[in-house]
Structure 1
């Protein structure tokens, strides 16, 4: 994953009526030299001390770590090796083993010297791009047989400016071609690209010393782990607003990557998550208010994009995005979202039933969809008997489903990013007798064991838990415990792998989000990095190289502690080979399951592309080839199901909310019926 200067504090926008104008300010003739403030110098020393004594991971700030800070800082600034030359890097190399001493003393000279040159190089490069843009005629033909490398992270630094000139020539031509392929004529494409370049120039000229300090501090803190972050005073305010959920918005977590604003994750129950169109790793390139024209935001600062997306409750924002699985930046779509408050009701568990025919008899599989692990903390603290929580709602839904004579139960945790730990703990208790549910190890090595003290069980029947790559944190604790107790099958794709605990420490200047503990399953295995591996796996359309803990640089590793003694509720491990074989047989015959596998293979093929052609005809041919493949896959599925084939991709209907049309839920139900069959056979053999 490419990292850049603008990968700063991830910003969650939940609301505000504030918007910003789009008129460009006057660009100054020259960029001023930035320097650290006294408060930043003191904050650097404070951060060093807090990391040394408060972080879960014990790391010594020495010459070796100094070199890693230096390399990570360069990667944050110029991860695609598009600005600095080898000679300039050679000049900076004198700082490789000095940054540790500088941080201890609050000396930020080296970081600001490197950044100031970087800023000058960026300004110079943008200015040259603007001049070069004027040389393209409105009838320019993109006929060159050349290609642009997409990711240059592993390349050597450029030997000289001439080599960088060649790279930027290709980048400019690719940007123009992408805009043309998206439907613009070349004259409009040039105007759009000029605005983008001017926006980038505006952004770089507005850089403050606080921006530099935050980038540098996080180049240091993230070496401990990616969730440990320094937050500037302004970023701290945004973070605290997010944690209080006090504003309305669309509910998404963003970061900037290169000149794009990228979606990191969605707030469960939020407007975006409910709409179901915006996905993690999508890139937002334009924002429009209601019926107004969409404003191109490529090259904007992250806070400016967030301010533009924010707006009054019930108003509509339109986002122009490049989907994560797009092979070309010319492939865009418009998504309309109504801003709203993320309400507890929107995150609440919901039930449904999937009906399956088994040997001529209808079987009912209960489904409980849990978008997040929630609890009304205020009502709970006030001692109200009817306070809302995940466990209370699920208990009620289980009772309702059992009154409808369900044959099995699926807990759907897909896209559940976590929430209240106490709810994951108590939810496990609905399916087991009293026992441990999770272990928490702190920085001193002390392990606390959390568990369910209640001996009662709400549901004793066949159980499966459905997860995917976006199931994280509390979801992984619940799924891991159910798997360890052999209480039910875990089905789906490997989960996110977020197995650490953070707390926020206020500083005199900003605040520090610090990783202080780590989760472990009762089996002793960490949920960190690896997440929970399902017993039976489905194809995943999420790119694990972009989404998940393992996709984050410097993520803490997977490890083990001593297991907690626990019982096993069923011989699932003995049945698993037969269950997998039956599932595989269906996967090779069921049109929907075959379609999922084919989609995964196609997306992996698309993601493997390392370079992009600068020839218009070649680009069109490649785009048409991929669209033809996608349409062919869809029509194969439709034909096999007796549906009418489609003429074009845009004719594909919106996804239905009917659980009986959800291929993963249906197959999970069939796997549960297989498990019931094996259990009945085992009982018959005993009798």
Structure 2
């Protein structure tokens, strides 16, 4: 089940009449295509034979599939009735046998009931809205349950009516709080529900089959999934056309479209106004185009609406994660994310340990990239992570830096080859990563093969969005004691997927798992920093551990590898100095308070439907945000903001400008700034503590 269920406040209506008798004549039922049964058998066979997680589909998995499929259809338990669920239970232990026999009829029957319930609901709400908005009592003290994971499906029509009455009231109240009048609210809701009705009626047999099969693949792990011919076409398009649009990876979260991560150097990233877990509620074309409500839309339909030619504009209306629930509209200029925008870049700054100043080089690496096309052409000037970083290292050595910080924050990974070759720049010959395959064979071919190009002090900066190849590099640096790893626990994606062809579509399937030279997997647990920084991203909602079916962390045998710095003696005084320095630092106090604020908001289980209470809550939240910011500003000798509106205005930025890599700036990056002081301490203490030469660790 999805974590952090902040249920959608998007829709609902007072259902005065809902027929308890289910008549398939009211809506055309979708039926399986002739070849879908054989494709289902093929998927079952490949999952059992090829997937890293050696699971056999039996009665227990049948029950899990039933749960997962119902969850995927009705995550907020708002459409099905308890009587529907009880009726479907007859298939709970037999879905495995049906799939082995190439039978998917039960999946379609469950979906058709869901489709009928949704259609009835939407038709009724549109009928109600034809007469105007219902006369809600916004002075009444009542609340709407946000997290319905532990709730039951409505036991009766009257119970369903009450749930939907509150949903509609919440939707109307949310819009009232954005200063919309009744007519504007009615028009928006009519467009919303008509759009949802149109999309549910446009669902095809392929859509149902894909949803059903992906409920099965998710039981193996969250990164294995079935791609229908249509989805496969979109997948291939996204892989081959470069990244054109806003540069954001989106995912479905109940009725919302949520930002999963931002592409480094992309238009959305450059605004600085969009963060992971932000919800997109409306999309508008150009600077003045009508905002189209996308709550309840299919993910690929939202992506199609956001996608567009480079140079054009798109507006996103979002609900920022951890905020006061207010909507924010962001104007973005679409652009192709060019390789040079994601390229490594450098800067140098002076830092002191209190006794001596040091020149510190900073290399920012947004992704592990390689220009495969130029590489295949044997272009001697092809761009790659390792080639670019090697040039920057040579330049920094020429500038006589005392140490280097490699910033891998928000680096979601990329080329495994580049992660290995980049490690080669910092260590002598030795293994970098171990890969265990589904057949249990272990590959150790990814090795550093040359002498290190840079042998000086090194800090690797990571956060929760550092994933995959970033984790391989950071893990190797940590295992070799080659440098300090600073920041937050990484994402924890330590698996490898391959594409397996099917009669219809393809199966993306997890077949391998990464392990560090220490024997620890990067899967699930990620890389834990030597020196932690304030947490900025909620690890319970972002990261591999947020997935219920993520493969677990485990260990295999370690492999012999060198040890460089004597970190065992260095870490205690480094951590002590870091804690002393940041305890009273205004920026760090603000970051900790901000995360606490967002965590409290994310844990909210109910929302008030009393307008005065909601307005007072909003004012209180805004005042709290303003107070937090003004404490930071006052402590830093800056002029405090007089109002929350002045604070918001200062934070706004109309358009994401495109034009090369973002400049590295310390004044707006307290985490990077503190990493610089940690590096200065590292250098100073290393000069005082005897160094140990590289040696093979004992096991």
Give the match for residue 682 of structure 1.
689
Give the match for residue 69 of structure 1.
65
- Is residue 2–residue 80 contact of structure 1 (8 Å, CA) maintained in 2? no
Which of 156, 162, 170 lines up with 2:158 in the alignment?
162
Kindly indicate whether residue 325 of structure 2 is the aligned counterpart of residue 319 of structure 1.
no
After superposition, the Cα gap between the structure-2 partners of 1:560 and 1:455, relative to the gap in structure 1 and judged at 3 Å, is same
Which of 214, 222, 225 lines up with 2:221 in the alignment?
225
Query: Which shows bigger deviation, 28-37 or 311-320?
Result: 28-37
Distance 1:256 1:653 in 2: 28
Give the match for residue 12 of structure 1.
none
Give the match for residue 618 of structure 2.
623
CA deviation profile, 1:230-260 (whole Å, cap 9, x unmatched): 0110100111112224462222222233332
Cα offset, 1:393, TM superposition: 0.5
Query: The residue matched to 2:175 in structure 1 has which SS?
Result: helix
Give the match for residue 660 of structure 1.
666
- Within 5 Å, give how 1:225-244 maps onto structure 2: 225-244=221-240
Distance 2:633 2:240 in 1: 46
After superposition, the Cα gap between the structure-2 partners of 1:73 and 1:61, relative to the gap in structure 1 and judged at 3 Å, is same
Cα offset, 1:211, TM superposition: 1.0
Kindly indicate whether residue 104 of structure 2 is the aligned counterpart of residue 108 of structure 1.
yes
Give the match for residue 119 of structure 1.
115
Give the match for residue 15 of structure 1.
none
- Is residue 519–residue 555 contact of structure 2 (8 Å, CA) maintained in 1? yes
Distance 1:29 1:272 in 2: 46
Q: What stretches of structure 2 of length at least 5 have no aligned partner?
A: 8-23, 654-661, 694-699
- Within 5 Å, give how 1:317-396 maps onto structure 2: 317-328=314-325, 331-359=326-354, 362-396=357-391
Runs of 4 or more off by more than 4 Å in structure 1? 132-141, 653-658
After superposition, the Cα gap between the structure-2 partners of 1:99 and 1:580, relative to the gap in structure 1 and judged at 3 Å, is same
Give the match for residue 399 of structure 1.
394
Cα offset, 1:125, TM superposition: 1.7
Query: The residue matched to 1:168 in structure 2 has which SS?
Result: helix
CA deviation profile, 1:79-98 (whole Å, cap 9, x unmatched): 21112222221111110111
Kindly indicate whether residue 307 of structure 2 is the aligned counterpart of residue 310 of structure 1.
yes
Kindly indicate whether residue 465 of structure 2 is the aligned counterpart of residue 470 of structure 1.
yes
Query: The residue matched to 2:563 in structure 1 has which SS?
Result: coil
- Within 5 Å, give how 1:52-201 maps onto structure 2: 52-133=48-129, 141-201=137-197
Query: Which shows bigger deviation, 657-666 or 586-595?
Result: 657-666
Query: The residue matched to 2:496 in structure 1 has which SS?
Result: strand
- Is residue 646–residue 652 contact of structure 1 (8 Å, CA) maintained in 2? no
- Is residue 435–residue 451 contact of structure 1 (8 Å, CA) maintained in 2? no
Distance 1:388 1:415 in 2: 21
Give the match for residue 650 of structure 1.
648
Query: The residue matched to 1:326 in structure 2 has which SS?
Result: coil
Query: The residue matched to 1:519 in structure 2 has which SS?
Result: strand
Distance 1:142 1:471 in 2: 45
Give RMSD over aligned pairs: 2.2
After superposition, the Cα gap between the structure-2 partners of 1:339 and 1:681, relative to the gap in structure 1 and judged at 3 Å, is same
Give the match for residue 22 of structure 1.
none
- Within 5 Å, give how 1:199-598 maps onto structure 2: 199-246=195-242, 248-291=244-287, 292-328=289-325, 331-359=326-354, 362-598=357-593
Distance 1:128 1:294 in 2: 24
TM-score w.r.t. length of structure 2: 0.91
CA deviation profile, 1:182-216 (whole Å, cap 9, x unmatched): 22122211221121111111111111111110110
After superposition, the Cα gap between the structure-2 partners of 1:133 and 1:327, relative to the gap in structure 1 and judged at 3 Å, is farther
Corresponding residue pairs, total: 662
After superposition, the Cα gap between the structure-2 partners of 1:34 and 1:590, relative to the gap in structure 1 and judged at 3 Å, is same
After superposition, the Cα gap between the structure-2 partners of 1:518 and 1:267, relative to the gap in structure 1 and judged at 3 Å, is same
Cα offset, 1:269, TM superposition: 2.9
TM-score w.r.t. length of structure 1: 0.93
After superposition, the Cα gap between the structure-2 partners of 1:245 and 1:466, relative to the gap in structure 1 and judged at 3 Å, is farther
CA deviation profile, 1:576-597 (whole Å, cap 9, x unmatched): 1221111111111111111111
Query: Which shows bigger deviation, 284-293 or 521-530?
Result: 284-293
Query: Which shows bigger deviation, 79-88 or 492-501?
Result: 79-88
Cα offset, 1:341, TM superposition: 1.5
Q: What stretches of structure 1 of length at least 5 have no aligned partner?
A: 8-27
- Is residue 590–residue 632 contact of structure 2 (8 Å, CA) maintained in 1? yes
After superposition, the Cα gap between the structure-2 partners of 1:247 and 1:658, relative to the gap in structure 1 and judged at 3 Å, is closer
Query: The residue matched to 1:659 in structure 2 has which SS?
Result: coil
CA deviation profile, 1:509-557 (whole Å, cap 9, x unmatched): 1111010100000111111111111111112221222211111221101
Cα offset, 1:3, TM superposition: 8.6
After superposition, the Cα gap between the structure-2 partners of 1:682 and 1:642, relative to the gap in structure 1 and judged at 3 Å, is same
Query: Which shows bigger deviation, 302-311 or 177-186?
Result: 302-311
Give the match for residue 18 of structure 1.
none
